[in-house]
């Protein structure tokens, strides 16, 4: 079948995510002067609303750039060449962030962990305790590891750092968790929270940001890493206290609408509850399939299941990309592939952002058909298991 299937594309690739029409239309705004008072007022409302999502009352810097830009901003603003940082291994994205840090000249120490079970916070305490010279400047964590569908308990990491009595900063990548999973920057003592537009905020790719604690802003002053486009010091001299150069006004018309949907139309707590409900439905479905040597949840640690993305491990001898190809080419459903060492071994179902029951059930139905069409062993009825859970959840409300 060389033709495109009709109907709406189901985008269940874990990021970017579906963009609601109202955001698409808001962002399709004619150009305005970013120095215009009306725009600055709108911009300031967006800053306030996004801080409410981050749950911080501290500092926020925006970047015209993708999530990787915000990663880089966090590193170049806080560190100096040769500084050591401690990265907690979670999967492809902890690897990538570490690779970026090395590329920028930092000394990267990694707390190794099995991707499917996750790191032990005690190992963080141990590593910091062993760092008597206080060489470690920061602990870097990916809150929600998009490649594995696992969450790292940031509160526990904060406790682990405190237990070591170590002054290291705590950096958290919240790219695939913010607006989907519970995240509390100030309460959890996050010094730098890295986020992007294209996941739980339901915007196109191209705007990213960092929440920055007052402590981190102090540390920044000592950073000697060369920087300009990402420099917080430079940004603080600008009218928007963000951005070097032109402000990407379109994104703020979109962001304003996204924040309206999150805070005013649904409410942040209900947004999180919905992600929790849909995430559990996906897992019930996969757990059902897993009988009969079927595909299973890649994550072996139920305490760390992600409510925004689920990685599904294929049975030995079957390629995850065949499932993806069938789903996309025959049924117009886009599912994510395995990253790094998981290539071909897992496929990933994104369930973050603007999503509801029929969207997720339509997606699961297609995946179950794709398993069948590819002769992958599984216990049929996964969709029924998801429906049973969702119906019960609806009853409970």
The residue within the footprint of a copy of itself, chosen from 112, 133, 165, 245 (CB under 8 A), is 245
Minimum CB separation from a copy of itself for residue 168, in Å?
Answer: 21
Hey, which residues between 292 and 331 contact a copy of itself (CB under 8 A)?
326, 328, 330-331
Whether the Cβ atoms of residue 309 and residue 146 lie closer than 8 Å to each other: yes
Angle at 329 between CA 323 and CA 330, to 5 degrees: 85
Within 10 angstroms of residue 280's Cβ, the number of other Cβ atoms is 18
Q: Which of 139, 307, 362, 385 binds a copy of itself (CB under 8 A)?
A: 362
> DSSP alpha helices (H): ranges in 55-198?
67-78, 92-103, 121-130, 154-164
Distance CA 331, CA 328 (A): 6
The least distance separating a copy of itself from the CB of residue 65, rounded to whole angstroms, comes to 5
Footprint of a copy of itself on residues 133-172 (CB under 8 A)?
Answer: none
Contacting residue, 184, 357, 377, 379, with a copy of itself by CB under 8 A: 357
Nearer to a copy of itself by Cβ, of 128 and 320: the residue is 320
Residues in the interface with a copy of itself (CB under 8 A) total 111
Site string for a copy of itself, 22-41 (x = CB under 8 A): --xxxxxxxxxx-xx-x---
Contact positions with a copy of itself (CB under 8 A) in 77-96: 81
Pick between residue 86 and residue 360 the one whose CB is nearest to a copy of itself.
360
- List binders of a copy of itself among 180-239 (CB under 8 A): 196, 198, 204-207, 225-229, 231, 234
Query: Per-residue string for binding with a copy of itself, 97-136, x by CB under 8 A?
Result: --xx--xxx-------------------------------
Q: Is the Cβ of residue 276 or residue 301 nearer to a copy of itself in the bound state?
A: 276
What percent of the residues of the chain are helix, what percent strand, and what percent coil, each to the nearest 5?
A: 45, 15, 40
Task: Identify whether the C-beta of residue 303 lies closer than 8 Å to the C-beta of residue 346.
Answer: no
Give long-range contacts, CB 8 A cutoff, 24+ apart: 153-160. Answer: 153/121, 153/303, 153/304, 154/183, 154/188, 154/190, 155/188, 156/121, 157/88, 157/121, 157/124, 158/188, 158/189, 158/190, 159/121, 160/121, 160/122, 160/124, 160/125, 160/128
- Among 45, 51, 68, 215, contact with a copy of itself (rule: CB under 8 A): 68
- Identify the CA nearest to 278 among candidates 317, 307, 258: 307
Binding flag, residue 396, a copy of itself (CB under 8 A): no
Residue with smaller CB distance to a copy of itself, 215 or 240: 240
* CA–CA gap between residue 46 and residue 240 (Å, rounded): 11
Are 352 and 200 within 8 A, CB to CB?
yes
Q: Per CB under 8 A, does 383 bind a copy of itself?
A: yes
Q: Smallest gap, in angstroms, from Cβ of residue 18 to a copy of itself? A: 6
């Amino acid at each position: 079948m060389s033709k495109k299937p009709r109907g709406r594309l189901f985008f269940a690739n874990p990021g970017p995510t579906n963009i609601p029409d109202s955001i698409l239309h808001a962002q399709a705004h004619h150009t305005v002067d970013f120095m215009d008072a009306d725009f600055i007022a709108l911009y300031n409302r967006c800053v306030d609303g996004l801080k409410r999502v981050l749950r911080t009352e501290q500092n926020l810097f925006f970047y015209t750039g993708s999530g990787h830009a915000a990663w880089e901003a966090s590193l170049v603003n806080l560190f100096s060449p040769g500084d050591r940082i401690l990265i907690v291994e979670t999967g492809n994205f902890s690897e990538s962030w570490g690779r970026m840090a090395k590329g920028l000249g930092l000394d990267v120490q990694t707390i190794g962990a099995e991707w499917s079970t996750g790191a032990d916070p005690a190992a963080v305490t141990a590593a910091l305790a062993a760092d008597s010279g206080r060489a470690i400047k920061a602990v870097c964590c990916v809150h929600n590891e998009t490649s594995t569908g696992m969450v790292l308990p940031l509160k526990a990491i904060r406790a682990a750092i405190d237990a070591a009595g170590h002054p290291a900063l705590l950096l958290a990548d919240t790219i695939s968790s913010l607006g989907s999973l519970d995240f509390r920057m100030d309460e959890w003592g996050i010094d730098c929270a890295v986020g992007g537009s294209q996941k739980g905020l339901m915007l196109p790719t191209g705007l990213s940001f960092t929440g920055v604690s007052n402590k981190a802003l102090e540390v920044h002053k000592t950073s000697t890493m060369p920087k300009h486009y990402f420099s917080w010091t430079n940004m603080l001299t600008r009218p928007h206290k963000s951005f070097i150069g032109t402000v990407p006004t379109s994104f703020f018309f979109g962001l304003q609408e996204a924040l309206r949907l999150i805070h005013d139309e649904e409410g942040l707590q209900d947004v999180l509850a919905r992600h929790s409900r849909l995430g559990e439905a996906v897992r019930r479905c996969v757990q059902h399939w897993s009988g009969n040597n079927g595909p299973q949840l890649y994550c072996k640690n139920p305490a760390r299941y992600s409510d925004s993305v689920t990685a599904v491990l294929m049975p030995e001898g079957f390629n995850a990309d065949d499932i993806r190809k069938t789903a996309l080419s025959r049924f117009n459903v886009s599912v994510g592939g395995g990253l790094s060492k998981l290539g071909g071994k897992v496929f990933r179902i994104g369930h973050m952002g603007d999503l509801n029951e029929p969207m997720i059930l339509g997606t699961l139905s297609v995946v179950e058909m794709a398993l069948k069409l590819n002769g992958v062993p599984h216990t049929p009825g996964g969709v029924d298991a998801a429906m049973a859970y969702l119906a019960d959840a609806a009853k409970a409300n």
